[in-house]
Structure formats: structure tokens, C-alpha cells
Amino acid sequence: MKKVDLDEWMSKLKRIEDRVERLALLSQLGQILNSTLEYREVRRRAIEAATRLMKAETGSLLLIDREKRKLFFEVALGDKEETIKTVTLGMGEGIAGWVAQKGKPLIANHPEQDHRFFKGVDGRAAFKTRNLICVPVKVKKKVIGVLEAVNRRSGADFDQEDLALLTSLADQVAIALDNARLYREQEEMFLQTAESFADAIEKRDPYTGGHTQRVTVYSQAIGRHLPLKPPERKWLRIAAVLHDIGKLGIEDQILRKPTQLSREEYDVIKHHCDLGAGIIEHIRQLKEIVPGVKHHHEQINGKGYPNGLKGEDIPMIAKIVSVSDTYDAMTTDRPYRKALSKEAAIKELKRCSGTQFDRKVVRAFLKASRNGEI
């Protein structure tokens, strides 16, 4: 009798120790999930967390697109990633679709016997699903997606304890996704507002319609062919959007003059670089943007303005915006001349590479142009 008790105790102890270990892991995974506000990264970490916590072979996160009434496999780990992430399910279709629609968790230890099981994923990914566990991801009680783990490594069935743990993880995934969404919304609000202001400023000059938007597209395309760090790419985009905001401070009669400008008038126009920098220079979070706005009319040979900076003294972002800005000016009609063809403008960029423009930036422009990005 005693003997039996002891065995029971030991197995109970083993189970509970296992539970301690998994709860500690859950807490650690929650930290990893929440230590980024990048939407894509949260999704990737959610999958990884579900897979590790469930001791599974793979996992996936399916997010609901309410408009299309579909579920998207947003990411899935491992070799099959590329294949799996293109799969979509209808709401209610397959096990994940059932979980998304009902908002209830589900364990399928014998999915081949479950009529809800959708074999499309297995088929397309050459993947055999032995068992799976699947829970809804809810933000303020609204189902936004489904988190699942597939194929327990040990071969054992998924059980109610797994379900409780995965549900708890899904709650953390929901929070991390929602925070990333809020952060991204604010980021978008900033960018869209900056773009709107830039557009409105640009509209004062009837000859530059769409200029800011094109310069932004060109600058980002050039940036993709240069070894920039991720934050530099973000700054480049903002600097391109804001490069001409200083024109806000230029009088209508000069800005809108339909004929060629006098030397004095041109000097006034040149002032837009300093004016633009002045508008944003006291904003701490935009300090990396200021040089891009201020120096986008400098030239490698030192003959540019406002400071006549030379070569490497000109910030990279400014050198990129300079090429984009000049290319767009050449390829659009101006009050006093017609637009150049794309080919003629590229020839001009090449001709001035190393004197007016940075050689590396022109090379990146040419790559982007050949790629059809410009």
C-alpha cells in the first residue's frame, strides 16, 4: 500500500515538476514575444514560442482577414515556411477555420479521422500532420487569429494541460500583436501626416505635382541597393518625404513664378534647405533626418548649397535624395522647359557621377532602374 502511494507521489511530482518547467518557459516566451514592437517579428516569435512550448515539430499563426473572410497562414517555421505561408483557409474551413469561427480551442490527436481536417496544407507542403493543437487568439474577446502547434515530438497525444498552456501563450501573442499594431498605427499616422503636409506644401507650386511622392519612391528604391541599416532606411524615407518642406517659407511670387528666376530670386529659393531643417531640427526623434533635408542640394565637388560640403562630408541620405530629386526635376515638365526622356536623364546622371552626384548612389540608382523599381 505504501509502495503504491510512493509511486503515485513520484509520478505526481514528476508531472508537477514538468509543469513548473513549462510555466517558467511560458513566462520566458512571453518576455521574448513582448520585447519587440515589430509586427512581423512578433508573428515569427509567436510561431517559435508555440512550437517550443508544445514540444512540437512545427507551428503556425493564422490571422483573420475580416474583409476577405479568410485565414492567412502568416508565418510557419522550418524548411516548409515558404510553401506554407501562401496557404489561405476560408472561415470555418479545416480545423483552424473551425477554431477561428467558433472561438474555441481544439485538440486533434487523430486528425485523419476528423472531418473538419483540411488536407490542402499537407498536400501542398508535402507534410504529414500526425496530431495538432489549435487555440484562438483573442484581442478584447474578438478572435483575430489562430495559433497552432503540429506533431508532438515525443509522439504522445496533446492533452488538456497543453491546451491550458497554449491558451495562455495565445493571450500573450494577442497582447504582443495588439501592441505592435498600435505602434505601427502611430508610425503610419506620422508618415501619412508628413506626406499630407508635404503634398499640401507642394501644391502651392503648380509645377511640382507628385514630386515629393516620386522622390520618396526613387529614394527608397536607391536605398534598397545600398548597404543601409534598417533605421537608416526609415530615416531615408522620412527625409525624402520632408526634403522640400522648407518651401513653406518661400513667398508665392517667387515659388510660383512661371518664368526663369533671377539670381536674387534663386538665392531666396536656395534658402528652403535651411528653412526645412529649421522646421524639424528641434524634434529630438527627427534629428537623423535634419542632415538629409538640409544638404539635399550639396554636390560632391563642393559646388552645391547651402554649405558647399564636399564628398564624404555630405550625409548619405542627402546624397540619395539629391539624385532622386534631380532625376525627377529632369524627367518632369517645368515652366521654362519640357521634360527630358528617362534615357536622357540617366545619361545626365552618369555624366555628373563623381562631380555632382555620389558614384555609389548613381550605381544604386542604375540598378534600381534596371530592376524596374524606378
Residue-wise DSSP of 321-359: HHHHHHHHHHTS-BTTBPPPPHHHHHHHHHHTBTTTB-H
Q: Looking at beta carbons only, is 172 or 326 nearer to its own copies?
A: 172
Instruction: Identify the CA nearest to 45 among candidates 177, 231, 178.
Output: 177
Name the minimum Å distance from CB 31 to its own copies: 6
Of 369, 288, 102, 172, residue with least CA distance to 361: 369
CB of 352 to its own copies, least distance (A): 32
Q: In angstroms, rounded to a whole number, what is the distance separating the alpha carbons of residues 112 and 47? A: 23
Are the C-beta atoms of 278 and 271 separated by less than 8 Å?
Answer: no
* 337 DSSP β-pair partners: 334
Among 11, 23, 311, 333, binds its own copies (CB under 8 A): 23
Q: Does residue 11 touch its own copies according to CB under 8 A?
A: no
* Smaller CB separation from its own copies, 35 or 262: 35
The answer to whether 9 contacts its own copies (rule: CB under 8 A) is yes
Q: Which of 39, 197, 207, 305 binds its own copies (CB under 8 A)?
A: 197
Place of cell 479545416: 94
Q: By CB under 8 A, what part of segment 121-180 binds its own copies?
A: 168, 171-172, 175-176, 178-179
Q: Does 343 bind its own copies (CB under 8 A)?
A: no
- Is residue 213 close enough to count as binding its own copies by CB under 8 A? no
Q: Residues near 349 by Cβ (< 8 Å), separated by ≥ 6? A: 323, 326, 327, 357, 362, 365, 366
User: Does residue 253 belong to the site contacting its own copies (CB under 8 A)?
Assistant: yes
- Report CA 264 to chain centroid distance, whole Å: 44
For residue 27, state whether it binds its own copies (rule: CB under 8 A): yes
* C-beta of 75 vs 242, nearer to its own copies: 242
Give the number of C-alpha atoms closer than 13 A to the C-alpha of residue 70, restricted to the C-beta side.
Answer: 8
Q: Which is nearer to its own copies, 180 or 320 (CB)?
A: 180
Q: Which of 104, 120, 189, 342 binds its own copies (CB under 8 A)?
A: 189
Size of the site for its own copies (CB under 8 A): 57
Round to whole Å and give the CA distance between 163 and 169: 10
Cell of 293: 533635408
Per the CB < 8 A criterion, the answer to whether 75 and 57 are in contact is no
Q: Would you say 43 or 225 has its CB closer to its own copies?
A: 43
For residue 133 the three cell numbers come to: 493543437
Q: Which residues bind its own copies (CB under 8 A)?
A: 2, 5-6, 9, 12-13, 16-17, 19-20, 23-24, 26-27, 30-31, 34-35, 37, 168, 171-172, 175-176, 178-179, 182-183, 185-190, 192-194, 196-197, 199-201, 203-204, 245, 248-249, 251-253, 279-280, 282-286
